Amino acid sequence: MPVAIITGASKGLGHALGAAFARRGWDLVLDARTAPALEASAEELRRYGTGVRALPGDVTDARHRAELVAAARELGGSLDLLVSNASALGAEPLVRLEELPLEGLRAALETNVVAALGLVQEALPLLRAGTPGAVVAVSSDAATGAYGTWGGYGASKAALDRLVAVLAVEEPALRVWAVDPGDMGTDLYAAAVPGDDDPRPAPDEVVPGFLRLLDERPASGRYAAPALVAGR
């Protein structure tokens, strides 16, 4: 069975990706900070009959990252996919740069960039041993567009995009994709912009874009999930 690690997997896009992979028979290692929500997510995914390891913790903790990779090694001996989906906003709700707490920016960079790279570093031996493996870094349109109040979060995702682009150059045998999932109705968005009740796609609706990457394995690069879903 192919094996995937998914961070931020207790709800939203992370849970939706886990369900899609479980339906395809993938074994999964799931991460999230809140243990009860993560275990509930894992219990639902185990109904598909695949191996699911749920490890609550914070991806900024190096020991926790090592535990995630060790669990993947125990499940399959190699790692086919690493999805860095766990994200921090830096301020909830989002605020203008003049008000952005520097500690919040540091927290966003630590989760969205430093921890994502740390997990890649920990997982590289298993990724190279796989088919070879693939890395998906969940990005944002805020990484490329200047939207008011999204400066800190967008800066962290822009940095993540650059790391992913360089990783693709340095690891040509892997597939390394930064994926902008587009607007979604998630808890993260609600925390970023409370009171914005405009309808947005559910995470399930963009999952086919991620699956298309896995099925077609296009060149490493930056992709937008809604465009992949639309066949572009």
Q: Facing residues of 84 across strands?
A: 137
pLDDT along the chain (232 residues), means of 10: 97 98 97 98 97 98 98 92 98 98 98 98 94 95 97 98 98 98 94 92 97 98 97 90
SS3 200: coil
Nearest partner of 142 among 192, 211, 187, judged by Cα: 192
CA distances from 122 to 43, 137, 182, 192, 219 (A): 26, 15, 28, 30, 23
Q: Is the dihedral of CA 122, 114, 203, 225 positive or negative?
A: negative
Contact between 40 and 14 under an 8 Å Cβ cutoff? The reply is: no
For the full predicted model, state whether its pTM sits above 0.85: yes
pLDDT at 27: 97
Provide the 8-state DSSP code for 220. Answer: S
pLDDT at 197: 86
Residue that the structure tokens 């003049």 belong to: 98
CA 17 to the chain's CA centroid? 9
**Active site (catalytic) residues:** 139, 153, 157
d(CA 171, CA 165): 10
Contacts of 11 (CB under 8 A, 6+ apart): 32, 37, 41, 186, 187
What domains are defined for the chain? 3-231 (3.40.50.720)
Residue-level length of the chain: 232
